[in-house]
Amino acid sequence: NPGDAAVRLANLLEPVKSYSADFEQQILDDSGQRLQKVEGHMWLSRPGKFYWKVSAPYQQVVVSDGHKVYLYDPDLQQVSIRPLDKRVTHTPALLLSGSTDALTETYEVTRRQTSGLETFTLIPTSPDTLFESLELTFEEGRLQGLQMADSTGQRTAIGFENIELNGDIAASRFDFEIPEGADVIREGG
């Protein structure tokens, strides 16, 4: 029954205390044409902490210390700070670092297996979400890809490589220090 898929997904995510990988993120329009491609590295530590570092074609950093999210743009010398949106349906990165039981309450989860890949499709149960469906793909039990489709048919597809599971990541990784001379913008509370 559908509950099994959610349980299976929770079992895959639960043992992940930390996760580090190179990523490639593409945004595709409704006909599948690429609108944007960025690459970088992501560190994740449960619960609620992530460090998303875009290195090409530009530099950009998003850091969550579990309470606040810092977006630092070195080209613009701008740091915007906003409270971490706890709604799992709004911050997919949080989904990976959030608690797994939040998963089952917030999504309808279905699962399919194709050769070595196990893919979970998550449909948010509440309409107030940024995406209509979210797909998580696992290879040999390791998260390997994430894909979000929104109401306009556009998709954000993220692929992970050089994945390190439960490696030790210094706690300081997720403490963001505001660089000298950066323009600080506080948003939303």
Partner 1 sequence: CASQTTSPDQSRDRGDWDTQTERLRALEAWSIAGKVGLRTHEGAKSANIDWQQRPDTYRILISGPFGAGRTLLRGGPGNVTLISSEGRFEAQTPEALMEQQLGWSLPISALDYWVRGLPAPDTRKRLEHDDLGFPQRLQQLGWTIEYRDWTHTDDLWLPRRLVMTYGDLRATLVVTQWNPMTDS
**Footprint on this chain of partner 1 (rule: CB under 8 A):** 25, 27, 29, 35-36, 52, 54, 57-60, 62, 71, 73, 75-76, 78, 80, 91-93, 130, 148, 150-152, 154, 156, 183, 185
Q: CB nearer to partner 1: give 5 or 43.
A: 43
Q: Looking at the chain, how many residues does it have?
A: 189
Q: Token pair of 102, please?
A: 């939040």
Residue 154 CB, nearest approach to partner 1 (Å): 7
How far apart are the C-alpha atoms of 69 and 83, rounded to whole Å?
Answer: 6
Residue 171 or 185 having the CB closest to partner 1: 185
Contact 109, 6 (CB under 8 A): yes
Helical ranges in the chain per DSSP H:
2-13, 92-97, 100-106
98 with 66: CB under 8 angstroms?
Answer: no
Cβ closer to partner 1: 18 or 154? 154
Q: What minimum distance in Å lies between the beta carbon of 1 and partner 1?
A: 32
How near is the Cβ of 61 to partner 1 at its closest, in Å? 9
d(CA 140, CA 116): 7
Taking the complex as a whole, the smallest distance from the CB of residue 140 to partner 1 amounts, in Å, to 26
